[in-house]
Homo-oligomer: A and B are copies of this chain.
Amino acid sequence: MPKQKIDRRVERTRRSLQNALSELILEKGYEKVTVQDVIDRANVGRSTFYAHFESLDQLLLSGFEPLRAQFEDFLSGAEFDHESPWALSLTMFQEVQKQKGGYITLTHVQKFLYGYLLDHLKGQLPKRNKNIPPELLAHYVASSFIALMTWWIDNEYPLSAEKMNEIYRQLVEPGTMAIMMT
């Protein structure tokens, strides 16, 4: 079944809302943006907003849906070995810089990353490993990544994505590898 043609109006409405939100976030930060702000800026009726999205959160996520899909593709395609997670992190530093989305979505990225890491770590960790629960390790690796990313965004990208990735790797890899091998 070829996908239904989408009514121009819904297309227009959705875009307007996404753009409005995006602008407002840059102006005053996601936390302070209200539905009212968005629909005023987008010139969209209140009821219309709720016809399309359950909440601001949903609207926000909808904007990153393409990125998320791409991210998922990348993950499912990649082989997990000793190298790939670091290659992945580089890609993500680069992507996030492009997006200018800010750190609002980092929470979601973190969940995603955590799930991915956990899946693969469970296979890799020696079963009898008494050192560290895989959940904790995954949590740590994902959190560290988000931490660096947060700093990077807050400080408005003072270093290159490549440099950030290098630092991330230098900081996190040694301890991670060591604790996995023990």
Q: Which residues of A contact B (CB under 8 A)?
A: 131-133, 135-136, 139-140, 143-144, 147-148, 150-151, 155, 158-159, 167, 170-176, 178-179
Q: How far is the CA of A139 from the CA of B167 in the complex (A)?
A: 13
Q: How far is the CA of A135 from the CA of B133 in the complex (A)?
A: 30
Chain B residues positioned under 8 Å from A155 (CB to CB): 135
Is the pair B174, A178 in contact by a Cβ cutoff of 8 Å?
Answer: yes
Determine how close the nearest CB of chain B comes to the CB of A3; give it in whole angstroms: 39
Chain B residues positioned under 8 Å from A167 (CB to CB): 131-132, 136, 179
Copies in the complex: 2
Is the pair A140, B144 in contact by a Cβ cutoff of 8 Å?
Answer: yes
Is the pair B136, A151 in contact by a Cβ cutoff of 8 Å?
Answer: yes
Residue among B148, B158, B174 making CB contact with A140, cutoff 8 Å: B148
Q: How far is the CA of A174 from the CA of B170 in the complex (A)?
A: 9
Is the pair B175, A179 in contact by a Cβ cutoff of 8 Å?
Answer: no
Q: How far is the CA of A133 from the CA of B175 in the complex (A)?
A: 20
Determine how close the nearest CB of chain B comes to the CB of A139; give it in whole angstroms: 5
Determine how close the nearest CB of chain B comes to the CB of A171; give it in whole angstroms: 4
Instruction: Contacts A133-B158, A140-B147, A147-B139 given; indicate if A172 touches B175 (C-beta within 8 A).
Output: yes
Residue among B144, B150, B151 making CB contact with A144, cutoff 8 Å: B144
9 further contact pairs, Cβ within 8 A, besides A139-B148, A143-B144, A175-B175? A133-B158, A136-B167, A143-B147, A144-B144, A147-B147, A171-B175, A171-B179, A173-B175, A174-B174
Determine how close the nearest CB of chain B comes to the CB of A67; give it in whole angstroms: 23
Q: How far is the CA of A173 from the CA of B144 in the complex (A)?
A: 13
Chain B residues positioned under 8 Å from A172 (CB to CB): 171, 175
